[in-house]
Amino acid sequence: MDGGALAGRVVAGDRRALAQAITLVESTRPADRGPALDLVEAAAAAGRKGLRVGLTGTPGVGKSSFIETLGLMLTGRGSRVAVLAVDPSSPVSGGSILGDKTRMPGLARDPLAFIRPSPSGMVPGGVARRSREVVALCEAAGFDVVLIETVGVGQGEGLVAELSDILVLLMAPAGGDELQGVKRGIMERADLILVNKADGVLQPVAERTRADYAAALGLLRRRAEDAAGFPAVACVSAATGAGVGEAWAQVEALAMWRRDNGFLDSRRARQARLWFETGVREGLVAAALARPGLRAAIERLGAEVAAGQTSPDRASLQILQAMTGV
């Protein structure tokens, strides 16, 4: 396939071409990699930039519902919205429900929106690296906002942080004890924490949860790329739409501040470098493991280590010496 020609159709706004382009980028066939790289580079030459917003949170917290409500609000204003799902956790389970269109019935029918569910059957690192290319394709296709949904478990949140300009963490209303369970890492990376389901009987709980998080955030060190007042925390309801407009206003305010202060560019530059290094590292490991006999040697030494016949350090040194010849 001619990646350059496909890029032209993507940039011209051809949705079928975009879907095809994403399929090419997500392909695991080695022969597709060259055309995919041509495609991504040609598309990037259009120089279009959208706002990349990552959304993470535990399963069932309401990420898809929030995207539906927010997305419809944005398309209602004339913005073009792409929704991507990144699921680095389940190459084994196959199909993912992330980004399931049934959770976004309005957006799925909206001509200004484009929804791409999570690809299945890819290696964890591969999913995220390709997702970065998919985000870039959506921008080249003229989407003003790219919303990236990922489950906030395992590696998901760290990866989505490296895909997005702004990271939003959705939380459920919870009592004080459950608050302790929040992983510090994600609290430190989130730009905006939204306590979802602030409606009905859960509203007072949500408000208390918000106050708890606000207090916890106050203890965190501010990063250079945080505007005054960020990271911020607020209550929303994806179900009623309460607070969603205000939350988006905060996202936009932070994005504008970051843009004006050079942090959007520096953040993307840092991410590009990180993906490069990750690509090299993963490629080296894959190439090394493809060497004849190496996997078998690892298996054999692994069994010896487990049986206490040799130490883990001596065994790994043996493998490395065999590989590098020193």
Ligand X SMILES: Nc1nc2c(ncn2[C@@H]2O[C@H](COP(=O)(O)OP(=O)(O)OP(=O)(O)O)[C@@H](O)[C@H]2O)c(=O)[nH]1
Exposed e or buried b per residue across 183-206, where buried means at least 16 C-beta atoms within 10 angstroms of its C-beta: eeebbebbbbbbbbbbbeebbebb
Residue from 115, 151, 193, 251 touching ligand X (CB under 6 A): that is 151
Of 15-23, 57-65, 212-220, 272-280, which part binds ligand X (CB under 6 A)? Answer: 57-65
**Where do we find the tokens 């995919």?**
36
The CB-of-187 to ligand X minimum distance in angstroms stands at 18
Peptide bond into 117 cis (omega under 30): no
Indicate which single residue of 18, 25, 42, 98 sits in contact with ligand X (rule: CB under 6 A).
98
Q: Which is nearer to ligand X, 133 or 199 (CB)?
A: 199
Instruction: List residues bridging with 167 in a β-sheet.
Output: 54
DSSP secondary structure letters along 10-66? HHTT-HHHHHHHHHHHH---HHHHHHHHHHHHHHHTT----EEEEEEESTTSSHHHH
| Residue 169 makes contact with ligand X by CB under 6 A | no
Q: Taking the complex as a whole, how short is the minimal distance between the CB of residue 24 and ligand X, in angstroms? A: 26
96 counts as binding Mg ion under rule CB under 5 A: no
- Taking the least distance from each CB to ligand X, the nearer of 40 and 202 is 202
Tell me: does residue 118 bind Mg ion (CB under 5 A). Answer: no
Residue 231, helix vs strand vs coil = coil
Among 13, 34, 59, 279, binds ligand X (CB under 6 A): 59
Binding-site partner at residue 243 among Mg ion, ligand X, none, CB < 5 to 8 Å by type:
none
Q: How far is the CB of 62 from ligand X (least distance, A)?
A: 3
Both structure tokens of 150: 């990922």
Q: Looking only at residues 276 through 305 of this chain, which bind ligand X when binding is defined by CB under 6 A?
A: none
Among 1, 97, 297, 298, which residue interacts with ligand X (rule: CB under 6 A)?
Answer: 97
Enclosing H/E stretch for 274:
helix 263-289
Indicate the residue among 11 and 247 with the shorter CB distance to ligand X: 247
**C-alpha dist (Å) from residue 315 to 276, 300, 318:** 30, 10, 5
* Residue 75 or 90 with smaller CB distance to ligand X: 90
DSSP letters for 114-167: EEEPPP-S--HHHHHHHHHHHHHHHHHTT-SEEEEEEESSTTHHHHHHTT-SEE
Q: E strand or H helix at 242, and its extent? A: none
Interface segment toward ligand X; rule CB under 6 A; list 3-11, 54-62, 219-227, 259-267: 54-62
Ramachandran sector of residue 8 (left: φ over 0; alpha: ψ -120 to 50; beta: rest): alpha
For ligand X, the binding residue among 60, 76, 229, 245 (CB under 6 A) is 60
Q: Figure out which of the listed residues 3, 24, 36, 64 binds ligand X, where binding follows CB under 6 A.
A: 64
Is 267 within 8 Å of 189 (Cβ atoms)? no
Q: Is 102 exposed, middle or buried (0-12, 13-18, 19+ CB in 10 A)?
A: exposed
Which of Mg ion, ligand X, none does residue 59 bind to, with CB < 5 to 8 Å depending on kind?
A: ligand X
* Number of residues counted as binding ligand X (CB under 6 A): 18
Residues 41 to 70 in contact with Mg ion, rule: CB under 5 A: 63-64
Q: Using CB distances below 5 to 8 A depending on partner kind, what does residue 237 bind out of Mg ion, ligand X, none? A: ligand X
The answer to whether the beta carbons of residues 129 and 90 sit under 8 Å apart is no
Q: State the residues that interact with ligand X by CB under 6 A.
A: 57, 59-65, 97-98, 103, 151, 196-197, 199, 237-239
Q: State the residues that interact with Mg ion by CB under 5 A.
A: 63-64
